[in-house]
Amino acid sequence: GGSVSAAVMVPLFWFSMRYGLRAGLEIGVIYGLVHMALGGCVINPVQAMLDYPLAYAALGLSGLFRKYLIVGVGVVGRFLCHFISGIVFFAIYAPEGMNPALYSAIYNGSYLIIEFIISSIIIYILARKSLLRLV
């Protein structure tokens, strides 16, 4: 399942903002495939695509807003991939009587919100200290 990582999204955001949308999408797919190969939970090929290469590629969407340091669009994209996967493939884990969409939103949102906050703070600090050169 999902968990808060030590700002794993920061390098992907930086790369996307530095090199643009296409490069960000590509590096996200590569990261997702490596993450999946090193111990990802795969129960179905479609679920694997949603939770790994597509979810991490979505972080590359932050390359669309590289001049404004907006990383939220990438996190929303990643959330949507995990959310859909949760509804379709992990609904059986929802407590009895709980709507699978609500369960997926709570489960995936709980760790992605924290990761988003941590990553946003780090990106902001790096930019303020001129350690994050974008263009």
Burial 37-52 (b: 16+ CB within 10 A, else e): eeeeeeeeeebbbbbb
> From residue 47, how far is each of 8, 66, 69 by CA, in Å?
21, 29, 30
Instruction: Quote the pTM value.
Output: 0.90
What tokens does 135 get?
A: 């263009």
* The pLDDT of residue 39 is above 80: yes
| Mean pLDDT score across all residues of the chain | 90
Domain map (residue ranges) of the chain? 9-128
6 pLDDT band, cuts 50/70/90, is low
* The pLDDT of residue 134 is above 80: no
CATH code 1.10.1760.20 for 9-128: yes
Q: What percent of the chain has a predicted confidence (pLDDT) above 70?
A: 93
**Closest listed residue to residue 55, CA positions, set 36, 33, 78, 76:** 78
Q: How far apart are CA 37 and CA 31, in angstroms?
A: 10
* The pLDDT of residue 45 is above 80: yes
> What's the pLDDT score for residue 127?
81
* Helices 9-19 + 72-89 axis angle, to 10: 130
69 pLDDT band, cuts 50/70/90, is confident
